[in-house]
């Protein structure tokens, strides 16, 4: 169990690198801190929990890159313009939901 899970949202931080070295069979991450204006932080959290699925940030960053969306559009509209997630990320999402049901 990892309390203060937001502390691993920066892959380059020493604490994040150290925590990734800890052997574990499963992870429960607790945090009260939201991901703030940076979807790569979400990737880092998912990578920590599912390192075998989220092996590289590049496909995730490409799939959820909203930098081409102009300012002034609503969040819901901007999200609909994002490319569809890759099969890898869809499978990870399904696995995460299945794991939640098994807990």
Provide the residue ranges of all domains of the chain, joining segments of one domain with +: 5-102
CB 9 within 8 A of CB 39: no
Phi, psi dihedral angles at 2 (to 5 degrees): -115, 105
pLDDT of res. 100: 63
29: β partners = 2
pLDDT tens for the chain, 103 residues: list them.
888 888 888 888 888 888 888 888 888 888 877 777 678 888 888 888 888 888 888 888 888 876 665 454 444 444 444 456 667 777 777 777 666 665 5
Q: Compute CA distances 34 → 7, 12, 38, 41, 84, whole Å.
A: 11, 19, 10, 10, 23
Question: Other C-beta atoms within 10 Å of 40: how many?
Answer: 15
In this prediction, residue 73 carries a pLDDT of 47
pLDDT, tens digit, 9 for 90 and up, residues 41-64: 888 888 888 888 888 888 888 888
């Amino acid at each position: 169990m990892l309390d203060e899970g937001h502390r691993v949202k920066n892959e380059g931080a020493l604490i994040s690198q150290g925590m990734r070295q800890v052997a574990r069979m499963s992870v429960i991450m607790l945090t009260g801190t939201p991901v703030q204006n940076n979807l790569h932080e979400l990737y880092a959290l998912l990578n920590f929990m599912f390192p075998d699925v989220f092996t590289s940030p590049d496909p995730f960053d490409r799939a959820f890159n909203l930098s081409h969306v102009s300012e002034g559009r609503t969040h819901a509209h901007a999200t609909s313009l994002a490319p569809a997630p890759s099969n890898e990320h869809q499978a990870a999402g399904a696995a995460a939901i299945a794991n939640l049901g098994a807990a």
